[in-house]
Amino acid sequence: MSIIDFEFAWRHFPEVLKGVPVTLLIAVISMILGIIFGLIIALCRIYKVPIVNRIVVVYVSFIRGVPMIVLLFVLFYGIPALFDLINKQLGWSLDADQISPVIYAMIAYTLNTAAYQSEIFRASINATHSGQMEAAYSVGMTTAQALRRIILPQALVLSLPNLGNTFIGLIKATSLAFAVKVIEIMGTAKIIANDGYKYLEMYLVAAVIYWMLCFVFEVLFAQLERKMRRYEARMDEGQSA
């Protein structure tokens, strides 16, 4: 059974590899911005900040509810339309074609991942013990100080596995950005595949590259977790009876 043309796959491997930087660029930037916004959203929800709480609840629901592809389209087709409108109304000369599709993708993925991450942080902050907050108050910390120095470091440890999930998911989700002209790993693979209908080969190439890429981050996250958890009485050591 030599359905798979390995030689072909191998020959085109480097070409697909060229999609990695774009993928990483979008994933890393969106992840970082997503963490920041996600954290802010989570705190607004936990502290039930009036009005803002309402708004972020709708935001999270909407962003999670709408398919990523739609979000991409809304930005990709909506911003040029908006620019046209502005140009017409105000006589400006904004040119949407000047904006790289990568920018649209980054905005879309940031909006998206922030919503998911807000839930991750909400879960992990809620899982920290209320006694920790009280202790911080008792030594005279403000809420912000207590969050920054005591609660969030503990919450971060709890969220690491989920952040890992999100980040790996994000790396793969960037393949959707092909829908707005960003040519990343999957896009490159599909373009190459078309000439000889070698989809099987090229999908495998893409899968291998994604795997290598994500594996690196899996290991990084695992190590980070091990390091950050060192203060805990672990439930996962020698407790199997």
Which residues inside 191-210 make contact with another protein, applying CB under 8 A?
191, 193-200, 203-204, 206-207, 210
> Judged by CB under 8 A, does residue 55 bind another protein?
no
Helices (H), the chain: 6-17, 20-46, 52-65, 68-90, 101-127, 130-138, 143-146, 152-173, 185-196, 199-228
Site for another protein in 57-116 (CB under 8 A): 61-62, 64-70, 73, 77, 97, 116
How many residues does this entry show for the chain? 241
**CA-wise closest residue to 22 among 97, 78, 100:** 100
Provide, rounded to whole angstroms, the least separation between the CB of residue 90 and another protein. 20
Burial of 228 (0-12, 13-18, 19+ CB in 10 A): middle
Burial of 7 (0-12, 13-18, 19+ CB in 10 A): exposed
> Judged by CB under 8 A, does residue 7 bind another protein?
no
The smaller minimum CB distance to another protein, of residues 111 and 198, is found at: 198
Provide, rounded to whole angstroms, the least separation between the CB of residue 155 and another protein. 9
> Would you say 4 and 205 are in contact if contact means Cβ atoms under 8 Å apart?
no
> Judged by CB under 8 A, does residue 122 bind another protein?
yes
Provide, rounded to whole angstroms, the least separation between the CB of residue 27 and another protein. 13
Burial of 72 (0-12, 13-18, 19+ CB in 10 A): buried
Provide, rounded to whole angstroms, the least separation between the CB of residue 163 and another protein. 9
Provide, rounded to whole angstroms, the least separation between the CB of residue 217 and another protein. 9
Q: Which range binds another protein by CB under 8 A, 9-17, 18-26, 28-36, 182-190?
A: 182-190
The smaller minimum CB distance to another protein, of residues 6 and 215, is found at: 215
Question: Which residues have C-beta within 8 Å of that of residue 182, sequence separation ≥ 6?
Answer: 22, 26, 101, 102, 105, 174
The smaller minimum CB distance to another protein, of residues 29 and 57, is found at: 57
Structure tokens belonging to residue 40: 């802010």
Q: Which of 102, 180, 220, 223 binds another protein (CB under 8 A)?
A: 180
> Judged by CB under 8 A, does residue 160 bind another protein?
yes
